[in-house]
Amino acid sequence: MEICSVFGSGFHHTLTSPSPSAAASSSSAVPLSSTTIRAINNFDFTATVTSTTIAPLKLDETHKGPTKSSPNLRTVFRKTKQSAIFYIQESSDLESALSRSGGILRVQDLNVILRHFGKLNRWKELSQLFDWMQQNEKTNIASYSSYIKFVGKSLSPLKALDIYSSIRDEATRTNVSVCNSILSCMVRSGKFESSLKMFHQMKRDGLKPDIVTYSTLLVGCVKVKDGYSKALELVKELKYNGLSMDSVIYGTLLSVCASNNQCAEAERYFEEMKSEGHSPNVFHYSSLLNAYAVHGNYKKAENLIQDMRSAGLELNKVILTTLLKVYVRSDLFEKSRVLLNELENLGYAADEMPYCILMDGLVKSGQTLEAKSVFDDMMKKKVRTDGYSYSIMISAFCHVGLLQEAKQLISDYEANYQKYDVVILNSMLCAYCRAGEMDNVMKMMKKMDELAISPDWNTFHILIKYFCSEKLYILAYRTMEDMHKKGHQVEEELCCTLMFHLGKTGAYGEAFSVYNMLRYSKRTMNKSLHEKLLHILVRGRLLKEAYVIVKDNGGLISPSAIKKFATSFMQSGNINLVNDVIKTIHSFGFKINQELFHSAVSRYLEETQKKDLLLQLLQWMPGQGYFVDSSTRNLILKNAHLFGRQTIAELLSKQHIVSKTVKKPQQAQVVKKKREFR
């Protein structure tokens, strides 16, 4: 039978086109997709349907619809719909296929096609179909939840979010499937914080979360710091809502425990799960095993393997690879080698992963050359590599200063593989930086750029360190700025070094900017850093910036540094801030000495339009137990005509009273409470 003739000429093109997604004619060697086979099997070629009624179909034929009195017609109708679905799925021109045959299909039929496109990663057609469905008002909740899922999976979680946000109907927007779908997209694209925020908003809008919602969100806890406590909150909430833990939730939770260093808790959940009648599967076991790997608890791991044997579970590749990780983390390298051998015999060591685990462990325990011999062994066996093993060894050689060896591996890699990613490029970059080969450093950066590989934290860190070592401080600064803008946390030690050198070379503003980046990134920073920067800023006469440091961290700065700052500020700081500075350092418990008052007064006398500020200062002083000494007093009196003699006389006499009443022992007490200038 010639299939083409049954489906009409519209289909012929698809069947004979070389497109890999095209179905095949019976004589072609191209295999049929399972959907195609199903459609053909379900199609009754002997029915009273002729080729012309199948595709394209006329809308008016559908209005008659199937009737109870006519089972034959119903069958015909069902088959017609099936062939229309098939026709649309396999059409090379979706747009025209839809306009010709989409009309007879119900929403659920269109959803079938939507999922078909999604499963086969046919993203363009997926979107085209969904657009058509929207325009023809043929969408329901299932369309949205499927479409959002696939769009998120394809390329752009942001697009999925757009689609979700564009849903006008509140009932659809808070439907649990639709919510679960978009939350899953967000979680899988690493936007866990946003997904939690969305989740809360959804609940306020009327979402009734179910067990799927909670398991979706729990996945986000696996790769996030503080994930364990967030997971606990979610578990508490689901229980509060009357839902109960199922096997899936337990699996995710175990994985959260393993990745968050909660070995004891992982054990507890494992037991709890069993006591609730869920028998653990290979995933539950591997998560627990992974938790044991963190602390190298190989005894417990071996017991667990025994349990698996008793339960009749297969010790698969992942389980044995994870066991290898346990041995490596326990520094049991002999046991590790034996197990790796076993993996090889079982055919579980066809890719580089187990070798990488062993090499990484050896490198971390300082056995670089042993790691290299594992590497050589692996190469001899022609194990497939994606670059992981190379990057482990290149980085290891860099770390111990074996730069020739590192560079040799880079050449080997570049000669044999053309695949680059951020990690392999980082290790190459690191080698060239350590070797001080600027040309090659630039070459690597260019390559990164060309391949549109975005630098990560490590890349920036390597480059900044390198630029610092080459005394290219401004370049290092620009790179750090870039790093900060890209949202990476800057590292304190490196910031400290860079700040110091920027200060030394007169780039004071840049030093201040580095300090601010660090402050922005880190909640707690080394207490001595504020003072170090203060010295730099005072030296650079950036007194306004210096004042910011003092105001925010006065309590952490030594009296001598405060004195140095205040002295400079009185001399050349913004005159409008002089009183503020005095009050601020006083509020931190520093006693203002006479020299500072003297220079403040001198400043004011130089700029007579600021006389109000002088009067304010003189007024403030006695309340805090301060008074001017005789030389300052004489200076003021000499210029008293500028301020109004009467006012000056009154202010000074108030101070005089203070100076008399504050007797020696009392004064000593006041002073004692204050921090002394050294």
Partner DNA sequence: ATAGGGTTAG
Q: Which residues pair with 384 in a beta bridge?
A: 351
Alpha carbon distance 287, 545 (integer Å): 51
**Which of residues 168 and 678 has its CB atom nearest to DNA in the complex?**
168
In the complex with DNA, the residue whose CB is nearer, 147 or 477, is: 147
Q: Rank residues 14 and 184 by Cβ distance to DNA and give the closer one.
A: 184
Query: Contact at 8 Å (CB) between 252 and 218?
Result: yes
- Taking the least distance from each CB to DNA, the nearer of 421 and 481 is 421
Residue 674 is given by DSSP the state S
Q: Which is nearer to DNA, 36 or 391 (CB)?
A: 391
Q: Which is nearer to DNA, 54 or 308 (CB)?
A: 308
Which residues are 294's β-sheet partners?
none
Q: Distance between CA atoms of 589 and 584, rounded to whole angstroms?
A: 9
CB of 327 to DNA, least distance (A): 13
Whole-number minimum distance, CB 149 to DNA, in Å? 5
DSSP assignment of 210-269: -HHHHHHHHHHHHTSTTHHHHHHHHHHHHHHTT----HHHHHHHHHHHHHTT-HHHHHHH
Can you tell me the distance from the alpha carbon of 180 to that of 146, in angstroms, rounded to the nearest whole number?
A: 11
**Is 378 or 582 the residue whose CB approaches DNA more closely?**
378
Smallest distance, DNA to C-beta of residue 349, A: 10
Q: How far is the CB of 179 from DNA (least distance, A)?
A: 8
Question: Which pair of structure tokens corresponds to residue 235?
Answer: 């578990």
Quick check: 158 and 186 in contact, CB under 8 A?
Answer: no
Residue whose CB is less far from DNA, 432 or 473: 432
C-alpha neighbours within 13 Å on the C-beta side of residue 414: 12
CB of 585 to DNA, least distance (A): 49
Q: How far does CA 263 lie from the centroid of its chain?
A: 24
Closest CB 194 distance from DNA, rounded Å = 16
Among residues 389 and 513, whose Cβ is nearest to DNA? 389
CB of 276 to DNA, least distance (A): 13
Task: Please give the residue ranges that form the binding site for DNA (CB under 7 A).
Answer: 107-108, 111, 115, 140-142, 145-146, 149, 175-177, 180-181, 184, 188, 210-212, 215-216, 219, 222, 246-252, 255, 258-259, 281-284, 286-287, 290, 316-319, 321-322, 325, 351-354, 356-357, 360, 386-388, 391-392, 395, 421, 423-424
**In angstroms, what is the minimal distance from the CB of 444 to DNA?**
14
CA distance 506 to 468: 15
Count of helix runs (H) and strand runs (E) in the chain: 41, 0
Residue 296 DSSP one-character state: T
CB of 559 to DNA, least distance (A): 47
Q: Which ranges of 175-226 does DSSP label H, i.e. alpha helix?
A: 176-188, 192-205, 211-222
Give whichever of 307 and 607 is closer to DNA, judged by the CB atom: 307
Q: How far is it, in rounded angstroms, from Cα 118 to Cα 387?
A: 31
Sign of CA dihedral 405, 407, 408, 413: positive
Q: Are 542 and 508 in contact (CB under 8 A)?
A: yes
Question: Concatenated DSSP letters for 158-179?
Answer: HHHHHHHHT---HHHHT-HHHH
Cα angle 482-421-491, degrees, rounded to a multiple of 5: 35
Output the smallest distance, CB 178 to DNA, in A. Answer: 7
Find the shortest distance in angstroms from Cβ 312 to DNA.
17
Nearest CB to DNA, comparing residues 90 and 352: 352
Q: Which two tokens stand for residue 81?
A: 């719909």
